[in-house]
Amino acid sequence: MVATVEQLAALVRGRLVGDGRVAIRAARPVAEAGPGDITFIENERFTKLLRSSPASAAIVGPHFRVGASELGQRLAVIEVDDPMAAFLAVRSHLHDTQRPRWSGIHPQAWVAPTARIGQDVAVYPFAFVGDEAVIGDGSSLHAGAVIGAGCVLGRECTIHPNAVLYPNVTLGDRVEVHAGSVLGGDGFGYRQTHGRHVKIPHTGRLEIGNDVEIGSNCTIDRATFETTRIGEGTKIDNLVMIGHNNQIGRHNLLCGQVGIAGSCQTGDHVIMAGQAGIKDNTRIGAGVIVGAQAGVHRHVPDGQHVLGSPAIPVREQRRLFQMIARLPEMHRQLRELAAQVAALTDAMTLRSDAQSLPGLRPIPESGPTEPGGDLVED
């Protein structure tokens, strides 16, 4: 699709500076954009790239340091409050080449006779839908997806290839589960009886809220007795593990390789960076940020930013990091001080020994010295 800069500015409700008649064919990042493309700048670090870019137009923020007017003398500029959001809208508009969505049940899929399939549902080859499962309108089950007995999927859910929903998992509307993830498996629970680990049956459920996205190869366990819950709007990266009985709040961001042990609770708008680990029975307050590779072993109050293992408030942890960085220098200084102390100790020992020798007296602290040494005979 081709559109003028003026049309694109109207699309994103931005302020146009420069020639609005310029035709735009594609939207590309600033390092890749060429003539006929529109690009964007969200961070001032890319100012130099934009100044030398051969792009025909750019989307910038209202406080862009170079200034839309200066850029507008060379290329058309659209000024908006959120350049990234505007660029995504423009890119979607220019690159809208999606094929019409297929719907139906493929002959090579297996759907239980007691399952209920909504309207405009796509069930691709080798997908499996168990007894009494409910698939909401507009949902898609891709090749190899497994929907266990009694599962309930809301409207417009997407289950990507080889994702598995164990029995009695409930998904809200517009939930997306990427390839290879497993939802509703047994939690890791055992009791030691007579020297053996005896499995605790997990008969609880798993409920996923509206607008949740779950990355590839994630695992979310069902509860032991009640329900594991993932709050609406939460986004889960690849390779995340969420244990049984967890209560994850709304609009959380859980980055790659996060691991949350059983029976934890998070508030709304929590962020956990990559490889963070949470001890079982821990509460993470609303708005908390858990830094990368942090090990959280106790409750974290609302709004804190924690880092390190064991995790502590980020300001304290940064001071510790600074001290650790200084350890080699501190070690060198310590060795020098130890050498100085040893030298002083030797000198004091020598003076003390001299005082104890018969027929010798120490030279006074001040005064003349005689040739041949520090000690003179009486």
Contact in structure between 223 and 241 (CB atoms under 8 Å): no
295-296 and 277-278 as β-strands: parallel, antiparallel, unpaired?
A: parallel
Residue 17 parent element (H or E): strand 15-17
Contact in structure between 39 and 50 (CB atoms under 8 Å): yes
Cα–Cα distance for residue pair 98/92, rounded to 1 Å? 10
Tokens of 119: 């309207």
C-alpha dihedral, 26 to 179 to 226 to 118, nearest 10°: 70
Cα–Cα distance for residue pair 182/151, rounded to 1 Å? 13
Cα–Cα distance for residue pair 243/185, rounded to 1 Å? 10
Catalytic residue set: 244
Backbone torsions φ then ψ of 195, nearest 5 degrees: 80, 10
